[in-house]
Amino acid sequence: SPTEDGESGRRRLIEAGMQCARRHGWNDTYTLTKWMGEQVVDQNRDQTPVVILRPAIIESSYEEPVPGWIDGLRMADPMIIAFGRGKLTDFPADGTASIDVIPVDHVANAMIAALPLPSENPGLKVYQVGSSARRPMTCGQLIGYLAEGFRLRPMFDVDGHPIKLAKFRLIGQEEFDR
């Protein structure tokens, strides 16, 4: 059927993309295409100085414009909201694994700080904008911080009552597959 052919073609395309990514040393097509974009910029910049900032997972603001601000729900936000609403109780992750999230205002500040650098240092400069090198955080710690945040500032149900968080578990791959 056309649906099966379309789905089969989609799966083949995804697998081809993953093979290409792995061939170049990347885990997935997302990081591969970011690298490809950087290569295009570098190869076509001529003598133009360029700064590339590579932020970690961008999440809500630390301080500016107000603590917790973010425009829309992206990246981990839908999962965080589902957790706050008591809808997400299990997630496949190793509680001891590092996770690198960075507040959006820290990324904006890094971009501003990098502005004068191209004129001072012609060429291509690449900066990682993250926190794990100096202040690593584990998946388990992140869940603890989220739970504390929702305890202090709970989400509310349709009747205006605070939503009580369900017990949240980080589960292993085998349990997730089951």
Active site residues: 30, 34
137 C-beta neighbours (distance < 10 Å), count? 15
Is the sign of the CA dihedral 121, 33, 26, 105 positive or negative? Answer: positive
d(CA 49, CA 46): 8
Residue type (1 letter), 133 = A
- Would you mind telling me the total number of residues written for the chain in this entry? 178
Nearest residue to 98 (alpha-carbon basis) of 68, 151, 57: 57
DSSP 45: -
126 is written with which tokens? Answer: 């690449």
Identify the DSSP state of 98: B
* β partners of residue 82: none
Are 129 and 53 in contact by the 8 Å Cβ rule? The answer is: yes
